[in-house]
Amino acid sequence: MNILTLLVVIPALTILGLIFTKGYKQARLLSAVGMGLQFVATLYLVYMYFQARGAGNTDEFLFEQNLVWFKSLNIHYHVAIDGIGVLMMLLTSIITFAGVFASWEVMDLAKEFYIFLIMLAMGVFGFFIAQDLFTMFVFYEIAVIPMYVLIGIWGTGPKEYSAMKLTLMLMGGSALLMVALLGIYFNSETAAGLHTFDMQELSKMHFPFAIQKFFFPFAFVGFGVLGALFPFHTWSPDGHASAPTAVSMLHAGVLMKLGSYGAFRVAMYLMPEAAVYFADFFLILTGFSVIYGAFVAVRKTDLKFINAYSSVSHVGLILFALMMFTKTAFTGAILQMISHGLMTAMFFGLIGMIYGRTHTREIHKMGGLMKILPVISATYVIAGLASLGLPGLSGFVAEMNIFVGAWENPNLLNRVFSVIAISAIVVTAVYILRVVGVLLMGPLKNPEHANLPKVKWFERVVIILLMGSIVGMGTMPLWITDTIREGLVPIMEKFVH
């Protein structure tokens, strides 16, 4: 079987198997095995990819499979992958695997919980390998819909409101996206005189500027909603705050990346001239959101809200980098997708561990956790340092590529917003250190917290998986940057004038 299809089949089979399980123990065991297999299969994909590249295969996309799906509409099930996709798959499988362990203690309706969780993951896996816009859109919806159920049922706080808000806003994004996809479809024409959704074919066509100009905002904003593009980011804080731990991890870690990834690989790649045309507008929006998210995070007191606004700032940086049109900045954007995915999953995982023990996320109701929960606290500090861009951790690698790349664009507006975006490194330090100072340091604030249970084995698995990846990426970035740069070659051709 094609390895890429296998990566969709494994989650699908896991879901199928889950239907027949009884009790939470069976369900979580099967999920762990299934996602463990998926993780191994992804590592194998990485191995295969580098072997193929090492053997001198210079095709843009590898492991291609193309089956006709709806003949009359020329829709295909078309999957293939390049270096960037391989990295995104790896990210997704790490976070999904960690997510299963992070929800180890979900006992209510555990079977259903895992089914929806893995369905979400399956959608993401499918999205990253899809080469046909229609296939991609199907997987995209598969990933977005389970969120509603997961938050609505297993969430906390005002979960119905948050679930509704999140789903509606994302559906709004999907609607815009659908317009753009249909627009592209009906303006395409293959050699056989048919319309097509195939991205590889579409990328070879040149759409008239007027068409691009009309549909680009639909596609970019449509994906941008999921990528927390300011001012369409407000689903994210509420959604994350209400979502259960693993859902937050998956959602912020990988699902939000579908937005920025799609904005890049679909909107900008297929409509490059319109992208350049609208660059200044989106540059202002995204550059502002970088500093905006950071400043709002300074004032928030709920851990998940702080992290959600921190995410607005960090994913803002991804879209910001995309507006620079330099290879280094694009590399930085992809790196930031990976780095932010790992970091934010780590954060949400840790917040879940803390919340599970103290039953509060208000930082002022806790204090001095360092003494009680040394492992979790130390990990929180390291994740925080990664988030503020400490060298040796993943954030630094991504941010430096973005900043160096941003500076390569000599327009004055880009310069101004680069400085603004870079200044966020200071504000980020403020909100991270504030949380560390209030939450972890200091004397124990709440005496009830004196006997909180120590870190458990499955929590250690989450920490090791994610922290290991963060440190690995931060200390040995060369193979990742080179893989990305290789993948960017055909994309860059679109932006050379």
Partner 1 sequence: MDWSYTIWIPLLPLIGFLIIGFVGRKLPYPVPGLIGTTGIFGALVLSYITAYRYFFVANTAGSFEPIKGVEMLWMTFSDKLHFNMGVLLDPISVMMLVVVTTVSFLVHLYSIGYMKGDPGFGRFFTFLSLFTFSMLGLVVATNLFQIYFFWELVGVSSYLLIGFYYEKPSAILASKKAFIVTRFADFFFLIGILVISYYTGTFDFLTLNGMSESTLASVGSASFMGMSVLALGLTLAFIGGAGKSAMFPLHIWLPDAMEGPTPVSALIHAATMVVAGVFLVARLFPMYYHVDGGSVLHIIAFVGATSSLIAAIIATTQMDIKRVLAFSTMSQIGYMMLALGVSGYEGHHGLGYTASMFHLFTHAFFKSLLFLGAGSIIHAVHSNYMTKMGGLRKYMPITHITFLLAALAIAGIPPFAGFFSKDAILDAAYMHNKIYFWIGWFVAGLTAFYMFRLYFRIFWYEDREYHHTPHESPLTMTLPLMILAVLSVVAGFVFFYFLPFGTYITPTGEEFHMHIDYFLAGISVLVGIVGIVIAWIMYFKKNDKAEKVAKAFGAFYKWTYNKFYIDEIYMFVTKKIMFGIISAGWMWFDTYIVDGSMNLIGNTTVKTSHALKKIQSGKLQDYVYGVVLGVVALAVIFIYIWTR
Tell me which H or E stretch contains 65. strand 62-70
**H/E stretch holding 443:** none
Q: Which stretch binds partner 1 (CB under 8 A): 75-83, 105-113, 181-189, 414-422?
A: 414-422
Q: How far is the CB of 379 from partner 1 (least distance, A)?
A: 13
- Binding characters for partner 1, 362-381, by CB under 8 A (x = yes): ------x-xx----------
H-run or E-run covering 21: none
Q: Which is nearer to partner 1, 327 or 340 (CB)?
A: 327
Three-state DSSP at 157 gives: coil
Rounded distance, CA 115 to CA 366, Å? 34
**Residue 331: HSE in the Cβ half-sphere, 13 Å Cα cutoff:** 22
Q: What's the closest the beta carbon of residue 438 comes to partner 1, in angstroms? A: 9
Under the criterion CB under 8 A, does residue 205 sit at the interface with partner 1? no
Helix/strand/coil for 208: coil
Identified binder of partner 1 from the candidate list 25, 299, 359, 454, rule CB under 8 A: 299
- Contact residue for partner 1 among 191, 478, 496, 497 (CB under 8 A): 478
Binding part of the chain for partner 1, among 36-44, 212-220, 269-277, 382-390 by CB under 8 A, reads 382-390
Query: Scanning the structure block, which residue is given the tokens 């259960």?
Result: 244
Instruction: Give the side-chain half-sphere CA count within 13 A for 407.
Output: 7
Report helix, strand and coil shares of the chain as percent, to nearest 5.
75, 5, 20
Q: Toward partner 1, which CB reaches closer, 224 or 389?
A: 389
**Which residues sit opposite 67 in a β-bridge?**
77
306's tokens: 């702080």
One-letter amino acid for residue 315 of the chain: V
Give the C-alpha separation, 397 to 409, whole Å: 19
Nearer to partner 1, 2 or 234 (CB): 234
CA dist., res. 35 & res. 96, Å (int) = 7
For the purposes of burial, counting CB atoms within 10 Å of the CB of 141, is it exposed (0-12), middle (13-18) or buried (19 or more)? middle
Amino acid, single-letter form, for residue 62? L
Q: Can you tell me the distance from the alpha carbon of 57 to that of 50, in angstroms, rounded to the nearest whole number?
A: 10
Min. distance of Cβ 20 from partner 1 in angstroms? 39
Is 328 a binder of partner 1 (CB under 8 A)?
Answer: yes
Q: Which is nearer to partner 1, 275 or 291 (CB)?
A: 291
d(CA 262, CA 319): 11
Q: Which is nearer to partner 1, 299 or 359 (CB)?
A: 299
Nearer to partner 1, 111 or 485 (CB): 485
CA-based nearest residue to 252, from 228, 286, 287 = 228
Per-residue binder mask for partner 1 (CB under 8 A), 389-408, x = binder: xxxx---xx--xx-xxx-xx
**Residues in contact with partner 1, total (CB under 8 A)?**
57
In angstroms, the CA 61 to CA 85 distance is 10
Question: Would you give the DSSP letter of residue 460?
Answer: H
Task: Write out the binding residues for partner 1, residues 441-460 only, by CB under 8 A.
Answer: 441-443
Q: For partner 1, which is the closer residue by CB, 135 or 162? A: 162
199 or 427: whose CB is closer to partner 1? 427
| Near partner 1 in 209-238, by CB under 8 A | 230-231, 233-235
**By the rule CB under 8 A, 298 interacts with partner 1:** yes
In this complex, which beta carbon is closest to partner 1, that of residue 327 or of residue 361? 327
Give me 64's structure tokens. Answer: 């291609």
Q: Which of 429, 452, 461, 471: binder of partner 1 (CB under 8 A)? A: 429
Give min distance, CB of 443 to partner 1, in A. 5
Among 144, 150, 169, 219, binds partner 1 (CB under 8 A): 169
The single residue among 33, 40, 426, 492 that binds partner 1, judged by CB under 8 A, is 426
144 binds partner 1, rule: CB under 8 A: no
Report the alpha-carbon distance of residue 256 to residue 253 in Å, rounded: 7
Task: Give the three-state DSSP class for 104.
Answer: coil
Chain residues in the site for partner 1 (CB under 8 A): 164-165, 168-169, 230-231, 233-235, 292, 295-296, 298-300, 326-328, 368, 370-371, 385, 388-392, 396-397, 400-401, 403-405, 407-408, 410, 418-419, 422-423, 425-426, 429-430, 433-434, 437, 440-443, 477-478, 481-482, 485
